[in-house]
Homo-oligomer: A and B are copies of this chain.
Amino acid sequence: MPEYKAPLRDLKFVTEEVLGIHDHYAKLSGAEDATPDMIDAILEEGAKFAERVLSPLNQVGDQQGCQFKDGQVTTPEGFKEAYQQYVEGGWPSLSHSPEMGGQGLPESLGMMVTELVATSNWAWSMYPGLSHGAMNTLEQHGTEEQKQAYLTKLVSGEWTGTMCLTEPHCGTDLGMLKTKAVPNENGSYAITGTKIFISAGEHDMADNIVHIVLARLPDAPEGTKGISLFIVPKFKVTEAGEVGERNQVACGSIEHKMGIHGNATCVMNFDGAEGFLIGPPNKGLNCMFTFMNTARLGTALQGLAHAEWAYQNSLAYAKDRLQMRSLTGAKAPDKAADPIIVHPDVRKMLLTQKAFAEGGRALIHYCSILVDTVKTGSDAEKEEAETLLSLLTPIAKAFLTETGFEAANQGLQIFGGHGYIADWGMEQNVRDSRISMLYEGTTGIQALDLLGRKVLMTQGATLKTFTKVIHKFCKANSSEKSIAHLIKPLAELNKEWGDITLKVGMKAMKNRDEVGAASVDYCMYSGYVTLAYLWARMALVAKQKLNEGTSEEAFYKAKMQTATFYFERILPRTKAHAQMMLSGASSLMEMDEDQFFLR
Contact = CB atoms under 8 A, between A and B. Distances in A.
Contact of A589 (B176, B336, B344, B520): B344
A15 to B, nearest CB: 13
A204 interface: no
Nearest to A222: B336
B197 A258 contact: no
A583 B598 contact: no
A interface: dominant SS: helix
A57 B519 CA distance: 39
A258 B422 contact: yes
A512 B569 contact: no
A540 interface: no
Nearest to A346: B444
A599 B562 CA distance: 13
A588 B255 CA distance: 42
Nearest to A427: B258
A597 B345 contact: no
B588 A256 contact: no
A238 interface: no
Given A7-B599, A348-B517, A171 B416 contact: yes
Given A350-B596, A575-B572, A420 B435 contact: yes
A575 B579 contact: yes
Contacts of A169: 322, 336
Contacts of A516: 327, 343-345
Interface stretch (A244-252, A299-307, A552-560): A552-560
Interface string A304-346: 0000000010010001001110111000000011000101111
Interface string A434-478: 110111001110011000000000000000000000000000000
Interface string A384-424: 00000000000000000000000001001100110111110
B565 A587 contact: yes
A331 to B, nearest CB: 9
B558 A580 contact: no
A1 interface: no
A444 B588 contact: no
Contacts of A345: 444, 447-448, 516-517, 519-520
Contact of A344 (B413, B421, B439, B513): B513
A88 interface: no
Nearest to A172: B323
Given A176-B337, A348-B520, A327 B515 contact: yes
A504 to B, nearest CB: 12
A219 to B, nearest CB: 20
A373 to B, nearest CB: 27
A585 interface: yes
Contacts of A572: 575-576, 579-580, 583
B422 A598 contact: no
A430 B433 CA distance: 13
B422 A588 contact: no
B171 A594 contact: no
Contacts of A552: 598
B592 A554 contact: yes
Interface string A254-276: 01111100000000000000000
Contacts of A554: 592, 594-595, 598
Nearest to A558: B595
Give 4 nearest A-B pairs by CB, closest first.
A344-B516, A10-B599, A258-B427, A572-B579
